[in-house]
Amino acid sequence: MQTRKAIIAILVTVFFSSLSLSSLANEVLPLMSKTLPENLRNQEAVMITVEMEPVESSLPHRHNAYVMVYMLSGKLEMQVKGGPLVQLEPGDTFFESPTDIHAVSRNLSDTMPAKFVVYLLKEAGAPATVAAD
């Protein structure tokens, strides 16, 4: 009798576990994928949120990192030197390589802040942002 109860308990657990896993899988939405170099020794991953006030902009800078941006709210305009000027809205993504100069970053609204998540893969201990040369 104990063995039968144990088997039923295991089957119920497996059944409900598989339900929750399949429901999670339906909510996964890939946002961006980039191939990175194989040798990532002395690297660290950093994830931050940034909020830019209305009409705020930043001076040209670089990150010396692989950068992935995901817009949460508001509307931004971004551009890396030599690249197209891009307008980002919630759900949009933006990518910078370690050699890119981030030439334009500005909030397009004069009333609403813009908020975004930034994921950086950079040298461990190095600053996340430095002034462009």
| pLDDT tens digits along 3-21 | 444 333 333 343 444 444 4
Question: DSSP label at 91?
Answer: T
- Using a cut of 0.85, tell me whether the model's pTM lies above it: no
Residue 128: per-residue pLDDT: 85
Name residue, tokens 């902009």.
57
Say how far apart CA 44 and CA 24 lie, in whole Å. 28
The string of pLDDT tens digits covering residues 49-87 is: 999 999 999 999 999 999 999 999 999 999 999 999 999
Beta partners for 57? 106
Say how far apart CA 11 and CA 93 lie, in whole Å. 42
The string of pLDDT tens digits covering residues 18-28 is: 444 444 445 65
Residue 3: per-residue pLDDT: 41
**CA distances to 15, 64, 121, 124 from 127, in Å:** 48, 9, 11, 9
The answer to whether the beta carbons of residues 123 and 64 sit under 8 Å apart is: yes
